[in-house]
Amino acid sequence: MPITPATATHSSSNGTAEAILLELVDEDGVTIGTAEKLAAHQPPGQLHRAFSVFLFDEQGRLLLQQRALGKYHSPGVWSNSCCGHPYPGEAPFAAAARRTYEELGVSPSLLAEAGTVRYNHPDPESGLVEQEYNHLFVGLVQAPLRPDPEEVGATAFVSPAELARRHAADPFSAWFMTVLDAARPAIRELTDPSTGW
């Protein structure tokens, strides 16, 4: 696994751990500052930039990710292929490509912008709040996955019918349906109409 600012141990010159900063934005997605990652998710939440990736295989099945049990936020739940936060000043597209490789060990063979969505989703389990301006991306994955076990508990490729069954039976992230619904127009452009997305 490559060492990046997201996976490395941060140390400042005086030996203390450095905080991971998120980019705070206004309602139009314009950057207005930064905040430490955990602080940005404390109630009531600070609006910050995020991204969500939806990857599909050659059969038009969606790649789901089960978040690792060690995650501080929404551990063990199923969600979209990859999601996260750009570093301050990092382009959302670059962040989406970077984190897809870091979490899943694969680079998409195609990755395209799919719009943005703004939401406010409290997580009843952790008490944290997802107050996000989320950049959406859709893409194709054609190489074998090599998930990082510290990030990913399991993966599954699902059809729309399989997703509906799994969503009814298993816990999913609070934001999953919001980002999926917002990305559906781009998903339909990417996938064959016969897949039913």
Instruction: Indicate which residue of 82, 83, 103, 151 is catalytic.
Output: 83
State the Cα–Cα distance between residues 97 and 111, nearest whole angstrom.
8
Cα-based torsion angle of the residue sequence 124, 7, 67, 189 in order, rounded to the nearest 10 degrees: 110
For the question of residue 132 being annotated catalytic, the response is yes
For the question of residue 83 being annotated catalytic, the response is yes
Strand partners, 49: 133
Instruction: Indicate which residue of 23, 102, 132, 151 is catalytic.
Output: 132
Q: Which residues are catalytic?
A: 83, 132
